[in-house]
Structure 1
Amino acid sequence: MQGDLQSDVMDPARAAALQVALGLEPTVSAGSALPPFFHQLYFWSPRAPSDLGRDGHPRVGIDLIPDMGLPRRMWAGGRLHFHTPLRVGAEAKRHSVLEKQSRKTGRTGPLGFVTLKHEIWQVGALCVTEWQDLVYREDPVLDEVKPTPPVARRDETERREVRFDSTLLFRYSALTFNGHRIHYDLDYARDVEGYGGLVVHGPLLAQLLMLFAEEVIGPLTRFSFRATAPLLHFETATLCRNGKDLWVRGPDGRQCMQAEAQSE
């Protein structure tokens, strides 16, 4: 199966910058294990302005992602297998393929589904396998009633409150080279895509859940997550855990993300 192959050095400065942005101590140094999901900071794919779509992402149809005629992109979820730790300061290679694509009709109209599979190798060893699930949708009808989001569980055994603001969203976008305008352009997020504010990155929520899970249950071997409702930049969220289940609860009780973590 053909795909895309990229190389990058796991720069310790970039990983330490994310730790600082998240309010953590910058403990990463050359030779240490890269925290789970921090590989999102690497393997950038810069594109010329002429190759970008209106949303700031690379235009569909020029890389692995096909053009299905649907303008709105959402990172709907993903699965990760952590085989062996990536090491900071060393080169790694990522091989990416389009694993599947489909088109369906949902409550809000046509939907395009894309799954990308990534394998990340370092020093001849497979370190991470990741499946990234993307959804593409039509533009919203701005005065249309939005679907009711699911209600989050309240049976957590551990919880942690996290706060967001536009600065954190901007810094995360910069560190991951994510140009999606819903995360930093309030007018675009509100007037074009119909959100009530800047949207907290799904991968940022997943990142916080992974760090939370690792702190509680130890090094992760598998993690899966699914976004279920957007969280906005001015909202406080609660990270929740009960056994292997994790979720993000919004301030009004809605479920923004659900996840499952496995350790050694």
Structure 2
Amino acid sequence: MTGDLQSWVGRTRTVADEMAAPLVRRMAALTDRTDVPLQHGAPVPNHWLCMLFDDAAPQAALGADGHAATGDFLPPVPLPRRMLGGRRLTYTAAPRVGDALDRETMIAAITPKVGRSGALIFVTLRHSITRAGDVIAVEEQDIAYLEPKRNAPEPKAENPAPMPMAAWRDAFTPDPVMLFRYSALQFNGHRIHYDADYARDGEGYPALVVNGGVTTLFLLEAALRRQPGAQVLQTASRTMNPLFCGRAATLSGTAPDAQGRCILWAEDDTGATALRIEARIG
């Protein structure tokens, strides 16, 4: 199924963007941050780079799920559902308000697998973000393409290892406005995050699916509240189970070690781990 897709490996695309003050203001509002200055040249939290570099595909180029149809830059994977499986990020310099930034994306690998819900294909993207030619962040994303949702509920993913003892725990109940505002910031048209009828009838979910980026953002923000003035330096995250809008969840984390390394995770209302992040903060 992936033989013809391998020719897409190595393709690259560059997108330019700007860390504009209105975007920083909106992200600060979403995260209830009052400590981020908006003047030109002021440093921005590293992990807020997530709101830049949207695809901005023309309306006519969107698929039924609201994403850009595959076959333009992304390969034409013959599976209908997609989700972010994992990502790895390293930051080397803070973005600043007003920065002109470029992101070069390369299709690094296309890997077929068989999982709990059937056939999967993982497309790994490697992003390099530069400012005036200097790299300020490198990211790898694993996009998972899945078979159509079955009526029977999929089993929960098994945790790869027991979670450590939490040094802190925060209640977290994502609501539709939060999901909408995050999707709007990213110009993310994926309908499972804002169209409840489509999420239920089109993809078989019981409610709106919380964007993995939302969970990641609020986990990192919760950790940073415990380390005022610190920045996220490195993350490696794995999506394990979905969170659903309106259902109580919990954000947890360990205390950082001497190198600033900690484990962060989110649990759903049953206690199952939804997202796990190995982070370095300093």
Same fold (TM over 0.5): yes
Q: 1:145 to 1:17 in 2, by over 3 A?
A: closer
Q: Who is 1:145 aligned against? A: 153
Shift of 1:154: 7.0
**1:145: how far off?**
3.5
Give the paired residue count.
262
TM-score normalised by length of structure 1: 0.93
Aligned residue in 1 for 2:140: 131
1:200-238 deviations in whole A, cap 9, x for unaligned? Answer: 100111111222233335322211111111111101221
Instruction: Return closer, same or farther for 1:134/1:150 CA change in 2, 3 Å cut-off.
Output: same
Secondary structure of the residue aligned to 1:223 is strand
In the alignment, structure 1 residue 254 sits paired with structure 2 residue 272: yes
Corresponding residue of 1:229: 241
Distance in 2 (alpha carbons) for counterparts of 1:169 and 1:75: 16
Name the structure 1 match of 2:94: 85
Aligned residue in 2 for 1:17: 26
Q: Quick check: 26-35 or 113-122, which moved more?
A: 26-35
Corresponding residue SS for 1:206: helix
User: Residues 123-182 of structure 1, C-alpha deviation per residue, up to 9 Å, x if partnerless?
Assistant: 33210101111100011122x232124467472011222221111111111110100000
Matches of residues 92-171 of structure 1 in structure 2 within 5 Å?
92-142=101-151, 144-150=152-158, 153=163, 155-171=165-181
Distance 2:280 2:47 in 1: 14
How high is the TM-score relative to the length of structure 2? 0.88
Could you tell me which runs of 5 or more consecutive residues in structure 1 were left unpaired when the two chains were aligned: none
Q: Give 3-state SS (helix, strand or coil) of 1:37's partner.
A: helix
Matched, 1:197 2:197: no
Query: Identity percentage over the alignment?
Result: 32
Gaps of 5+ in 2: 1-9, 256-261
Measured after TM superposition, the shift of residue 26 of structure 1 is 6.5
Change in CA separation of 1:256 and 1:219 when aligned onto 2, cut-off 3 Å: same
Structure 2 CA distance for aligned equivalents of residues 154 and 120 of structure 1: 33
